[in-house]
């Protein structure tokens, strides 16, 4: 199958390209420099020329804090841009797999969020991503909208890399205990996204994230344990780390759909990525 990947130079895009290639697909990988999804005419031309069977849209504004002061720009990419990709996919007979986020929820829950739960984003980033969901659903009958959470992997800024770097420099770090989520390794998620790209007819929203849940504190402890680092993790709260954008307190995702790809436990993702990182640093 010919698969077009937008945002292919980003953390998730790279993983999708790798997974799709390994699974034997013909991949058209386009970075932001090669395809600006906010330019609808350009998107139509590129998709028309590529003639993909499916598109995995990894192009996105991902700066959560920056979106608070640049919401229009974030929405142009995450909202209107996603719509441009979806319309081009429909026009040229391709299925579209679009990436969304746990930030469409308000975090005020104590059980895992499922696809039918009411959305209520508490920040600009979440609002921009929710607009993208709506644009894609309206523009592409053959779509899969994939909500995921707490991504980490090669090729982009993420919490696991931050902890590994701090562990080399410090004897201890402080990490919050009052935010809970589903850490997701991009390599695991990428396989699920390619699977959904292959499955025409399975339409709608899917929650796909690392199985299980933890706090950022527990994630940091796991990272240091897997890396064999002696860095101590001190518990703290979000009040001690004021940031421009509020974070949902509870971002655990689960699926009520039998068709949703099931990812390995988040601990397996940490183990896999830390092992990959340690080998790469030698």
CA 188 from centroid of its chain's CA atoms: 11
Q: Which of 33, 197, 62 is nearest to 129 (CA)?
A: 62
User: What is the mean predicted confidence (pLDDT) over 50-69?
Assistant: 98
Contact 71, 127 (CB under 8 A): yes
User: Counting beta carbons within 10 angstroms of the beta carbon of residue 55, is it exposed (0 to 12), middle (13 to 18) or buried (19 or more)?
Assistant: buried
β-pairing, 250-251 with 143-148? unpaired
Give the pLDDT of residue 282: 46
Q: Hunting for tokens 């990428």 — which residue is that? A: 190
Coil/strand/helix, residue 239: helix
Domain positions in the chain are 2-158+184-211+251-263
Contact 160, 273 (CB under 8 A): yes
User: What is the mean predicted confidence (pLDDT) over 101-109?
Assistant: 97
CA 262 from centroid of its chain's CA atoms: 15
Give the pLDDT of residue 3: 98
Average pLDDT value over all residues in the chain? 96
Coil/strand/helix, residue 147: strand
Q: Over 70: is that where the pLDDT of 109 sits? A: yes
- Contact residues for 208 (Cβ-Cβ < 8 A; gap 6+): 146, 147, 148, 184, 189, 192, 193, 196, 253, 255, 260, 261, 263
Contact 181, 254 (CB under 8 A): no
> CA-CA distance, 32 to 211, in Å (whole number)?
30
Choose, from 125, 217, 250, 273, the residue flagged as catalytic: 125
Give the pLDDT of residue 280: 52
| Token pair listed for 263 | 């990812």
For 114-149, the pLDDT digits (tens) are 999 999 999 999 999 999 999 999 999 999 999 999
Q: Over 80: is that where the pLDDT of 279 sits? A: no
For 203-237, the pLDDT digits (tens) are 999 999 999 999 999 999 999 999 999 999 999 99
SS in 3 state form for 15-64?
HHHHHHHHCCCEEEEECCCCCCCCCHHHHHHHHHHHCCCEEEECCCCCCC
> CA-CA distance, 258 to 272, in Å (whole number)?
26
Rounded to two decimals, the pTM is 0.96
Phi first, then psi: what are they for 236, rounded to 5°? -150, -175
| Token pair listed for 65 | 């804090």
Q: Over 70: is that where the pLDDT of 43 sits? A: yes
User: What is the mean predicted confidence (pLDDT) over 169-187?
Assistant: 97
Helical packing angle, 266-280 and 186-198, nearest 10°: 120
CATH code of 2-158+184-211+251-263, in short, is 3.40.50.720
| Token pair listed for 153 | 């992997």
- Residue 174 CB neighbour total at 10 angstroms: 14
Known catalytic residue at 273: no
Phi first, then psi: what are they for 146, rounded to 5°? -110, 115
Give the pLDDT of residue 134: 98
């Amino acid at each position: 199958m010919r698969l077009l990947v937008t945002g292919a130079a980003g953390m998730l895009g790279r993983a999708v390209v790798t997974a799709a290639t390994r699974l034997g697909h013909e991949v058209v990988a386009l970075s932001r420099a090669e395809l600006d999804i906010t330019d609808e005419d350009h998107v139509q031309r590129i998709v028309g020329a590529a003639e993909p069977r499916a598109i995995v849209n990894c192009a996105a504004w991902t700066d959560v804090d920056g979106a608070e002061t640049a919401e229009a720009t974030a929405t142009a990419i995450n909202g209107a841009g996603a719509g441009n990709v979806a319309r081009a996919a429909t026009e040229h007979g391709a299925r579209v797999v679009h990436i969304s986020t746990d930030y469409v929820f308000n975090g005020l829950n104590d059980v895992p969020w499922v696809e039918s739960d009411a959305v209520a984003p508490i920040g600009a980033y979440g609002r921009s991503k929710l607009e993208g969901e709506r644009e894609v659903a309206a523009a592409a009958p053959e779509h899969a909208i994939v909500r995921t959470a707490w991504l980490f992997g090669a090729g982009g800024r993420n919490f696991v890399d931050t902890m590994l770097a701090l562990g080399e420099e410090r004897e201890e770090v402080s990490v919050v205990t009052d935010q809970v989520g589903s850490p997701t390794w991009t390599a695991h998620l990428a396989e699920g996204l390619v699977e959904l790209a292959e499955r025409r007819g399975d339409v709608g929203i899917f929650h796909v994230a690392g199985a299980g849940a933890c706090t950022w504190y527990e994630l940091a402890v796991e990272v240091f344990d897997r890396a064999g680092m002696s860095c101590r993790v001190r518990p703290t709260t979000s009040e001690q780390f004021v940031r421009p954008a509020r974070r949902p307190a509870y971002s655990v995702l689960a699926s009520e759909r039998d068709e949703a790809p099931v990812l390995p436990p988040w601990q397996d993702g940490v183990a896999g990525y830390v092992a990959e990182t340690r080998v790469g640093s030698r």
